[in-house]
Structures are given as structure tokens and as C-alpha cells.
Amino acid sequence: MFMLIKGRLVIHNNNENYKLENIDGESLREVKVPERSIMAIDGSTSRTGISILGYDGKPLVIFAVIRDNNESHVEYKVNLKRVIGAVLLGNKSIDTAVYEEPFIEYSSAAKHLLMLRTFVEELIVEHRPELDHIRFIEINNKKWKRIFLRPDKCPSSSQLEKKAVRDKLLSTFPYLDGISQDEIDSVAMGLAVLSEINAGNVGKLASRKQGRRFSYNIEFIGADNDDEAFAEIGDNLSDMGIPVRVAEEGIKFIELN
């Protein structure tokens, strides 16, 4: 048994009354989005939330792809990629794909999150020229939440962030009550990016910028490969005194002679 797909199509009548209609995985592959839209993906190694939104800011399709207990992480990535690829290839009106940059907080998940991270870009390369028109945007978790929640400030804890995002989204789209947090985050992230695209600020969405200089400590780590180094860093992150802002922007390796 492999991944479970829970899909919902946004339906409305002439009175602009909206509701969600359940669709299965096979039906999802056949969904057609007639208007210019973006896809927002909240990637996870166990449950990935995906939404398609029109440029008018209205959700069109929302679904989650859930990894089965007997499904390996590699199988999950391949199957998730197959589902997303079918949707993108069948809907040329989707011109932007937004992906939440993974925060490598727990070393045990680092390898799988980094493996999953590239699947959208792989799809674009593998399906040239059909998907060449798609603009790929990767955005930091904190950044999109700050954009979405403004003018209110983004809370300092993860649980309060989730509540604030859910409350604000449901105040605008009450019919979305009942969908998972992953799906909530994908819709809210898509709306945050859309607001910046429509304001002409898409160039400012990049996650990494040159940081100001700060004092530092050097920690020497012995490792035979990158996986071991990630594990060592993850297990000792707090002891190393790495600033939260730096950790949120991700970890990268450079070679020194």
C-alpha cells in the first residue's frame, strides 16, 4: 500500500457560496484549472499540503499527500512527484510553484527533507519544454508567515504561529475549516507570495540574503561525509550557540583548503 491522497475541490454557485467537495487521487489528476494560478507546497516527509490558487487570491484546489507506514521516503518522493507532475502537466495555467524552504531542525529528518526539497525543480527539468514556463520560488517559513500575518506581528512560538495563521485564513475563507494544518499553511503561503507578486516584490522573496557580520566561535567536527556532519551538527546545535536566525536560514557546507 502506498500514499493516501486527500483532495478537495472548491465549488461555488452563482451566489458566490463556497464549499469543499472531496475528490480522490485519480480524479485529482484530471482536475483542470482554467485560470492563471500558482501552486503552493508545504513539503513534509509524512504529509505534504498542496494548494492551487488563482491570481485573484481564491483557493481552487486543496489536497494532502500522506505517506503510508510501509512506504519508504524514496518511494514517497517518487509517488509525490508523479502526482504533482500530472497536475502541472495537465494545467499549463499554473505558472508559479512555491515551496517552503525546509528548516533542518532535527538531524534525523535532515536527509529526507533535503531529498524531498528538489522534486519540483526536477520535474521542471525532466519535462522540458512542457514545464519551462513555471517559475519556482522557495521561501523561508518565517518570511511567508510575516508577510501573511501583517500588519500583526508573527508570534514567537510554533504553536502560536499555527493558530495565528489558521485564524486569519479562516476569517477570510471560513469554508476551509476542517482541513489539515499542512493544507492551511500551503494556502496561506500561496496568498503571501501572491501578495508580493502582485505588488511587484517577487525579487524580494529569496530566502537568503547577505547577513551582517557577527562575532563567532569555531567548532571542529570530525565526519567522513555530509550525512554524518549534519547529524553531528543537529545533535549539538544548542551547545554550539548558533543564533536562531542563522539556523532558520539553513546549513550549508563550504570546502576549505
Per-residue pLDDT of 109-151, as tens digits, reads 677 778 888 999 999 999 999 999 999 999 998 899 999 999 9
Can you tell me the mean pLDDT for 147-170?
Answer: 92
Measured in whole angstroms, the distance separating CA 20 from the mean position of its chain's CA atoms is 22
> 4-12 and 18-23 as β-strands: parallel, antiparallel, unpaired?
antiparallel
- Of 69-78, 121-130, 168-177, 198-207, the range with the lowest mean pLDDT is 198-207
> 135-139 and 59-66 as β-strands: parallel, antiparallel, unpaired?
unpaired
Residue 229 host element (H or E): helix 226-235
Rounded alpha-carbon distances, angstroms, from residue 204 to 83, 201, 209 = 30, 5, 10
Q: What is the pTM of this model?
A: 0.76
What angle in degrees, to the nearest 10, is found between the helix axes of 107-117 and 226-235?
130
Contact 168, 146 (CB under 8 A): no
* Cα–Cα nearest to 25, from 74, 84, 78, 72: 84
Measured in whole angstroms, the distance separating CA 237 from the mean position of its chain's CA atoms is 24
Alpha-carbon distance of 233 to 241, in angstroms, equals: 11
Can you tell me the mean pLDDT for 101-106?
Answer: 67
Q: How many CA atoms within 13 Å lie on the side-chain side of 211?
A: 12
The C-alpha cell 502541472 sits at: 88
The conformation of residue 38, written as its DSSP 8-state character, comes to E
